[in-house]
Amino acid sequence: MNKWDRTAQQQANAKKASQLGMPLGTAAARLRKSILFDFVKRLGLDSCFRCGKTILSSDDMSIDHKIPWLDGHIDLFWSLENIAFSHRSCNTSDGRRGLNKKLGPIGTAWCAKHKQFLPISNFDTNRNKILGVARYCKDCRREYRRLWSARKRGAGGADRTLLT
């Protein structure tokens, strides 16, 4: 593109921005989001993934990853099965609470005691956690319960640092 073509393109973009009241790229992004929101409503996918309430406007809608992809598996970013829609406020508050944690290999979860990823089958379920599994593996929880009950019976000497 030569100097004259660039100048003509800049003038055309300036005219479009003037008529739209915003840069052309901003207007095009808003249009795409409005179209997407219309399709989301038509398909009945306008319930927030996080809170379950209806998303009422395209301005309040965000594309959400069900399982965080950052510092984890890049495939989760592109996976359409991992995509949901959320209110902007619901989606960003999860990030501020630190739910975007590192993920290990698929089919594993982090054991806070072992300090390593273990097969997900080694964990009890916990719906309150992002991956739906407990913080400690079954072996660590079993050992903790054994030591706790021995301490309650007065056996003493239980390792209080087991799960710290």
**DSSP label of 53:** P
Residues with Cβ < 8 Å from 53, sequence gap 6 or more?
47, 87
Structural domain count, the chain: 1
Q: Is residue 110 part of a domain?
A: yes
| Percent of the chain scoring above 90 in pLDDT | 40
- Residue 18 in domain: no
Q: Report how far residue 118's alpha carbon sits from residue 70's, in angstroms, rounded to the nearest whole number.
A: 20
Residue 17 forms part of a structural domain: no
Residue that wins the pLDDT comparison between 57 and 67: 57
Q: Tell me, what amino acid is at 135?
A: R
* Chain mean position to CA 132: 14
Question: What length is written for the chain?
Answer: 164
Position 162 in a domain: yes
- pLDDT of residue 164 exceeding 70, the answer is no
| Residue-number span of the structural domain to which 161 is assigned | 104-164
Element (H, E) at 129: none
Share of the chain above pLDDT 70, in %: 85
Max mean pLDDT among 59-63, 114-118, 148-152 falls in: 59-63
- The pLDDT assigned to 152 comes to 78
Residue 4, pLDDT > 50, answer: yes
Q: Has residue 147 been placed in a domain?
A: yes
Residue 108 lies in a domain: yes
**What is the per-residue DSSP string for 2-47?**
-HHHHHHHHHHHHHHHHHHTS-HHHHHHHHHHHHHHHHHHHTT--B
Per-residue pLDDT at 156 exceeds 70: no
- Amino acid 135: pLDDT: 83
Of 9-18, 36-45, 80-89, 121-130, which range is least confident? 121-130
For residue 83, is it within any domain? no
pLDDT tens, residue by residue, 88-142: 988 885 554 544 455 678 888 888 888 888 998 999 888 767 677 888 899 998 8
The answer as to whether 159 is a domain residue is yes
